Chain A
Amino acid sequence: MARILSILVGLFFTVALAWSFGKGAYTQITEPPAATAEHEFHLHPKEVSHSFDGPFGRYDNQQLQRGFQIYKEVCSACHSLSHVAFRDLKAIGYSDAEVKAIAKGFQVPGIDPATGEANTRPGLPTDYFPKPFANDIAARAANNNAVPPDLSLMTKARHEGTAYVYSLITGYQEQPAELLKEFPDAKTPNGLHYNPYFANLNLAMAPPLTAEGQVTYADGTKATVDQMAQDVSAFLTWTAEPKLDKRKQTGWAVLGFLLFATILGYMSYRNIWAGKKH
């Protein structure tokens, strides 16, 4: 009885699945899904290597500072960095005095102590990076109806985030002729910019790094577009994962200890079971 019941229930599900499969297969043959421009022209991030790759990789503070300079002088005009405080910059090699000076260079929202009116004041190390726009509506109004996303976690919020940021910044190009030939309706709309590394190929952000020497690096590194893109993607990797160095360092100590303990454990296991066939 139990068997018959079970087989009946089994038939219920399997027949329903076979029905779904059959209909799906039939539709697939009669109306194959149309190809999309995104599907055919979207590219995976470029291969790019950084000092912090791999289990032994560590941040290069020199590079992070250069990347910070790019953020400050280019990106921060539109993009917030809301999870990062000025004090955090000490971790990439700035001294207390330098952090103070950097913070002072930013105007942050404040309150007039005399009138209680909202105003702005120079930043303190404990302040977070100020947002460039008061709210999303203001951001949209100033940016062709697109909100520039916060960058604190950008490199963890995209697949292969570090390479993605680098590829996006260096990936702007003319829309390929083959794309327009195959998908005449997919022409990049006015005000958007074609970029095959962006999910839907058309990006509201104009190319942010366009010319060599756009930024004058404090450490004298030659500011090619490629260099600037690498540096800022490294900096944004740090903003997303500030504890990476400590994490890997701790990880090796932990693994070393565990390896030792496991070998001891294995030896005592062998010892205890010696002479006991199993």
Chain B
Amino acid sequence: MSFPWAKQYTPSHPFMKWMDERLPLPRLVFNAVGSGYEVPRNLNYFWNFGFLAGLCLVLQIVTGIVMAMHYASNTAVAFDSVEMTVRDVNWGWLMRYAHANGASAFFVVIYIHIFRGFYFGSYKAPREMVWLLGVVIFLLMMATAFMGYVLPWGQMSFWGAKVITGLFGAIPLVGEPLQQWLLGGFAPDNAALNRFFSLHYLLPFVILGVVILHIWALHIPGSSNPTGVEVKSESDTVPFYPYYVAKDGWAIGVFAILYCAMVFFFPNALGHPDNYIPANPMSTPAHIVPEWYFWPFYAILRAFTQDFFFIPAKLMGVLAMFGAILVWFFLPWLDKSPVRSGTYRPLYKKFFFFGLLPAMAVLFYCGGAPAAEPFVMLSQLAALYYFAHFLIIIPIVSAIEKPKPLPFSITESVLGSDEGAALAPAAH
């Protein structure tokens, strides 16, 4: 779908006409990220992160394919094959650091992208499907990143794999057989490493597929915007090309500078030193911690220290850890407020800035800290707020809140008045 004023693709060169009649790929690109896609004119810089996330995915696939050319998924040589890549392969060190830090960059971008969605209500009708597919992408990313971290077969690789696959053991009745089936053995070993490599190579392409669906679903209603007011007339939008190509273009530059500063000057800052020790099933590290982007959910997992009635603490932790993300799936139906943007929702805004963000910050911090006090108690309070926020506060707030008056249109919010739209017919 597109707005009626969107430019039409009109090939002028005979070859392009010939092509358009047979395989209208240029038309698709024109309508998706070219002049044919009309976008609200008032997007702020938080709207650059979708494009950046796509860039990160491509970056990870390209560097990952090169890494896979030199990697050997066998427990006897996996660690050495990565070291060999870094030491003896031309620019191998760059590929490795670009890939490892690329995962971190991807998650930084995606967390900002998701929290943009929370604040500006991007999950609301008619964009529920965009949101649901986005949560699916996030889950796939987590699985991919987890398995990727296992591949170098360092100490944290091994023990991370052991802890995370051990979570399946908490499921009643089928837990233990399920865990053994997933690992292909009683503990992470060659069978597990091989299948993790296979899946780590496969899943990014699954992600790519879901990303295409995500963008497709987005293009049906078109992009949301910081006011949350739907597009009404031609003066509300600008074509993606050249306007947002230019804006994304220079945002890529800023992103690339920060990312390259990490890759070239602090390549190991986000990694754990223990992963430079080859995996040793006989020696448990003092603190087993996952990569930083899992910390909030790891903190939630560890926050459940007591059995709850007949449910063992470990199972509660596993339920909560997965539940913490699954709850995002229900968000479009939990938040019934007709107003999208947090800017016009005084109560929601307060809970977002003084509740959700601090709680996430505490969970991030505690997830990376040792499982000792005061970190466990802090993460219990933060996790408590986290669940209360999504499951109790949002439904109640959306029922009782009195939103601020919305601007009549996007144009009015930008220019202060909107003469055109009052006369023009509505877009939908």
Contact = CB atoms under 8 A, between A and B. Distances in A.
A14 B395 contact: no
A222 interface: no
Nearest to A2: B333
B373 A28 contact: yes
B276 A262 contact: no
Interface in B163-194: none
A264 to B, nearest CB: 8
Interface stretch (B207-215, B240-248, B290-298, B349-357): B240-248
A181 interface: no
Interface string A58-101: 00000000000000000000000001000010000000000000
Given A10-B391, A13-B391, A20-B305, A83 B87 contact: yes
Contacts, number: 169
A134 interface: no
Interface string A1-26: 01100110111011111111101110
A182 B86 CA distance: 47
A23 B392 contact: no
A28 B377 contact: yes
Contacts of A23: 305-306
A19 B306 contact: yes
B420 interface: no
A102 to B, nearest CB: 18
Interface of B is mostly: helix
Contacts of A152: 83
A20 B304 contact: yes
Contacts of A255: 257, 260-261, 264
B129 interface: no
Nearest to A19: B306
Contacts of B265: 55, 248, 251
B268 A6 contact: no
A254 B87 CA distance: 21
**Chain B interface bracket (under 10, 10 to 19, 20 to 34, 35 or more):** 35 or more
Contacts of A246: 93
Interface residues of A, number: 58
A272 B246 contact: yes
A141 interface: no
A88 B87 CA distance: 9
A14 B382 CA distance: 10
Interface stretch (A115-123, A155-163, A189-197, A225-233): A155-163
A97 B88 CA distance: 21
B384 A14 contact: yes
Interface string A232-259: 0000000010110011101110110011
A272 B387 contact: no
A255 B250 CA distance: 14
B304 A261 contact: no
Contact of B267 (A18, A20, A247): A247
B125 interface: no
B303 A20 contact: yes
B286 interface: yes
Interface in A177-217: 199
A265 interface: yes
Given A24-B377, A157-B274, A157-B276, A14 B388 contact: yes
Contacts of A16: 304, 306, 308, 311, 316, 320
Contacts of B383: 13, 17
Given A156-B268, A273-B243, A276-B41, A262 B384 contact: no
Interface string A34-48: 000000000000000
A242 B87 contact: yes
Nearest to A10: B391
A25 B384 CA distance: 15
B223 interface: no
Interface in A141-162: 149, 152-153, 156-159, 161
B250 A265 contact: yes
A3 B250 contact: no
A19 B308 contact: yes
Contacts of B83: 83, 152-153
Interface of B: 41-43, 80, 83, 86-87, 93-94, 97, 238, 242-243, 246-247, 249-250, 252-254, 256-257, 260-261, 263-265, 267-268, 273-274, 276-277, 286, 303-306, 308, 311, 313, 316, 320, 323, 330, 333-334, 336, 372-373, 376-377, 380-381, 383-384, 387-388, 390-392, 395-396, 399, 414-415
29 contacts: A3-B396, A6-B392, A13-B384, A14-B388, A14-B392, A15-B308, A17-B303, A17-B381, A17-B383, A17-B384, A18-B384, A19-B308, A20-B303, A24-B305, A24-B377, A24-B380, A83-B80, A243-B93, A246-B93, A247-B264, A251-B264, A251-B265, A258-B256, A261-B253, A265-B246, A265-B249, A265-B253, A273-B247, A276-B238
The 10 closest A-B pairs by CB, nearest first: A251-B264, A10-B391, A262-B253, A265-B250, A157-B276, A13-B387, A21-B380, A10-B392, A16-B308, A17-B384
